[in-house]
Amino acid sequence: MAERVYVNEVGLRDGLQIHPHFIATDDKLALLDALIAAGVTSFEATSFVSPKAVPQMADSADLFKRLPVRPGVEYHALIPNEKGYERAIAAGARSVALVLAATETLNKRNINMSLGEAVEVCKAVLRRARAEGVATRAYIAAACACPYEGKVAPAAVFALTDEMFAAGAADIGIADTIGAGNPAQVAYLFGTVAKKHGAARVSAHFHDTRAMGLTNAWAALQEGIRRFDSSIGGLGGCPFAPGASGNLATEDLVFMLQESGFETGIDIAGLRQAVTVAERITSQHLGGRVAAYFASQDKRRAAAAE
């Protein structure tokens, strides 16, 4: 039996948060339906941040309340602080994710807190969530490099990971927020954390800014990581991190995993249909690096059928 790798779709949140125009809630739900039809079962559905800071997430409460209940499908909400946690819980969230940038400057730019202040806020929310039976993940953002401070020392990532686990995070997401990591760096980061805390408690989040998203995913995979974030069509980027272009495309990740003998439970043809929905609602031309290959195969089959 093929080994399972779990894919968490972040297109609805990370993928849409920097889009220049508000995407209607109904359109977000249409994209969600297409992804569920493709076999995706885990979603970072939205974030409960200030709508002034991230206008695309202004409908977070309404969206979360309208998420379809489907067997085996899980929804997670990103939160910046305790107020965001309370809003998420009021909307029905039972799984939340916090983001802690690995550097002082990015925390200041992102949430207007020092790194020390951000650590304490995350700890408080994690302790509260654990007491209230809410599932938690803590992301260490800009784990490879910061857009303001440059390359991040691995020791800083390891220290923050230790603190978040100690505070009660069920798992940690190590995020290459601006897509500046390389396979050697990724292998060291994930290998060290996995060895100390267990690979099953670690997930990976990559951007494809420098065309290394898949390569870095493979490096993490070799260190035992079996949980990955990705975004349909390569949508995404961080509004507070200059240079953070699109996320690793879900169709690229799933195609690589399946070609390599892993099981994801996700249908590639279904993902291609979801890409067309994403293109319609965003008015963008989308698709991962494998899109050109798919298109060539479509042409070959069409020619053969004539």
| DSSP letters spanning 111-137 | HS--HHHHHHHHHHHHHHHHHTT-EEE
Query: Catalytic residue among 122, 144, 146, 238, which?
Result: 238
- Please give the DSSP secondary-structure letter assigned to residue 231: B
Report how far apart, in Å, the C-alpha atoms of 133 and of each of 126, 136, 168 are: 10, 9, 11
Helix (H, G, I), strand (E, B) or coil at 262: coil
Residue 284: count of CB within 10 angstroms of its CB: 14
196: left (phi over 0), alpha (psi -120 to 50) or beta: alpha
The question of whether 238 is a catalytic residue gets the answer yes
- Cα–Cα distance measured from residue 153 to residue 77, given in angstroms and rounded to the nearest whole number: 29
- Cα–Cα distance measured from residue 271 to residue 278, given in angstroms and rounded to the nearest whole number: 10
Q: Please identify every residue annotated as catalytic.
A: 238
